[in-house]
Amino acid sequence: MHADFDAFYASVEQRDFPELSDRPVAVGGSPSKRGVVASASYEARKYGIKSAMPMSTAVRKCSDVVVVSPRFSVYREVSRQVMEVFRDITPLVEPLSLDEAYLDVTDVIQQNVTPPQIAKKLKESISSDLGLTISIGVSTSKSVSKIASGINKPDGLTVVRPGDEISFLHPLPIEVVWGIGPKSSEKLHNLSINTVGDLSAQPIKVLSDIFGSNAMYIKNIANGVDLRPVITQRERKSISSETTLLVDTSDRGDLTEIVMRLSGQVADSLIQKDIRGRTVKLKLKRSNFTTLTRQKTLLEKVQISSEITESALELLNYELKNSDEKYRLIGVGVSGFSSAESLHDEMQLRFEGL
Ligand code: DCP
Ligand code: MG
Ligand code: MG
């Protein structure tokens, strides 16, 4: 199953401030400070307001929109609560972000308890315990479940039975496939590849031109073939967040702001998963598409945003000092979680200290 809260930040605000329920709500930065929309309530979406849109555009689209500043600590707490509700069903929970997770319920299925019933009960628990709605997709694989959870939002429950994967996927627009962003979607439409079915019928050569080494992965997903297991947090090797810039830049101020934002997202994820890491990594892709990564291993494990930001900015400044390149992609990551690894590091440090 894949479960994802509906209009997460906005719904939490509507829940906690009932005067906002039924109103168009946009959670995010202030329109006068070039803020962007993080989450739009479904009432706001009717006016075309969406995540990642400048808040000034949102206000232009609907002058009645209620702009609310995010309360991250509240969202983190709600996230912690929902992951607990998930883990009451199965320990095999893989959080993808604060508001969504994969659940492997294979072992929970019994003769009288079917996956759709598990999903229905889960939706009811979340509604009664947390006062929020979540949409769930149920299928035999991660990608089909994720797509299914997204297509009947809000408050959706979409079940794709074994054997129905292809008939479910093929009529859908290519944009539902994770990994097909605006750029590749435009290229595909130019080739008259509009549906997942069209995608699945392409020779691998065509897909390689667009997706490079991910072509086979995309083709398999389009054919409903996805064998990836649900991975619980403890097995994870690193957590990172990256973004491709709309316009390549060498501006230190812009790059700093992006590194801070990405560090915050990585911190959210670490806090969410209740883990700390010792190594902070910065990834930069230059305009000429060469990629470099710089990393720094710390004495203490880090988790919160300011700690990650500090190291990531140090790496960024080091890079900027030695180059005046423009950059097209930036990523921040944290790794080095395992206690075995840290024990090893600690021994080494003590050894060096002697
Ligand atoms: N988020 C953000 N910036 C984005 C996208 C999302 O800050 N560009 C935050 C706010 C969202 C939360 O992450 O509430 C969850 O993201 P989702 O993509 O799941 O979006 P929503 O839950 O808001 O809406 P939906 O009902 O489409 O899931
Ligand atoms: Mg959501
Ligand atoms: Mg989500």
Beta strands in 251-326 (DSSP E): 277-286, 291-302
Question: How much is the average pLDDT of 228-239?
Answer: 80
pLDDT of residue 213: 84
Q: Which of 20, 47, 71 is the last residue of a domain?
A: 71
**What is the average pLDDT value for the chain, to the nearest integer?**
92
Q: State the residue range of the domain holding 81.
A: 73-162
Q: How far is 205 from 224, CA to CA, in rounded Å?
A: 19
pLDDT band at 38 (very low <50, low <70, confident <90, very high): very high
- Residue 229 lies inside a defined structural domain of this protein: no
Q: Is the pLDDT of residue 349 over 80?
A: no
Look at residue 39 and tell me if it is in a domain: yes
Task: Please tell me whether residues 261 and 283 are part of one structural domain.
Answer: yes
Q: Which residues are the active-site residues?
A: 100
Domain count along the chain: 4
Which pLDDT score, from 0 to 100, does residue 233 have? 66
pLDDT band at 275 (very low <50, low <70, confident <90, very high): confident
Mean pLDDT of 110-132: 94
Residue 103's pLDDT is what? 97
Which residue has better confidence, 325 or 47?
47
Above pLDDT 70, what percent of the chain? Answer: 94
Phi, psi of 192, rounded to the nearest 5 degrees: 60, 30
Q: Which ligand is nearest to the CA of 38?
A: 1
Give the SS3 label for residue 194.
coil
CA of 25 to the centre of ligand 1 (A): 13
pLDDT at 24 over 60: yes
246 and 322 share a domain?
yes
Cβ–ligand 1 distance for 102 under 6 Å, the answer no
Alpha carbon of 134 to ligand 1 centroid (Å): 12
Q: Is 9 in the pocket of ligand 1 (CB under 6 A)?
A: yes
Judged against a pLDDT cut of 90, whether residue 124 lies above it is answered with yes
The yes-or-no verdict on residue 350 having pLDDT over 90 is no
Of 48-52, 82-86, 223-227, 234-238, which gets the smallest average pLDDT?
Answer: 234-238
What average pLDDT score do residues 328-334 get? 96
pLDDT digits (tens, 9 = 90+) for 144-173: 999 999 999 999 999 999 999 999 999 999
In angstroms, the CA 243 to CA 174 distance is 21
Q: Which of 24, 71, 73, 74 is nearest to 50 (CA)?
A: 24
* 45 CA to centre of ligand 2 in angstroms: 13
Domain co-membership, 242 together with 318:
yes
C-alpha span between 280 and 302 (Å, rounded): 9
